[in-house]
Amino acid sequence: MLFIAKGFEAVGIACVLLGLVQGIQTDDMWAELYLSIAGIVLFLFGWGIEKAMARRAPKGKEGG
């Protein structure tokens, strides 16, 4: 499940960067906006999964 969360985060960052590049190369601000919003949503979804998994994970014993 951690790989899925990290995958969502990576795809989210890629969407934001792709939107930035597309916005620089073309004059289509709407496509840049949509890609940026989709990237932010995907990243936050993956981050939320990762945080939920961290809360459920048992804490390690100290002193080993």
pLDDT tens per residue across span 3-44: 999 999 999 999 999 999 998 898 888 989 999 999 999 999
User: What CA–CA distance (Å, rounded) separates 7 from 33?
Assistant: 22
Q: Is residue 47 part of a domain?
A: yes
User: What CA–CA distance (Å, rounded) separates 5 from 22?
Assistant: 26
Q: Is residue 21 part of a domain?
A: yes
Please say if the pLDDT value at position 56 is more than 90: no
Q: pLDDT category, 60, cuts 50, 70, 90?
A: low
How many folded domains does the chain comprise?
1
User: Residues near 28 by Cβ (< 8 Å), separated by ≥ 6?
Assistant: 22
User: Residues near 15 by Cβ (< 8 Å), separated by ≥ 6?
Assistant: 35, 36, 38, 39, 42
- What is the pLDDT, as a whole number, of residue 12? 95
Q: Is residue 30 part of a domain?
A: yes
Q: Is residue 18 part of a domain?
A: yes
| Three-state SS at 1 | coil
- What is the pLDDT, as a whole number, of residue 61? 58
Q: pLDDT category, 64, cuts 50, 70, 90?
A: very low
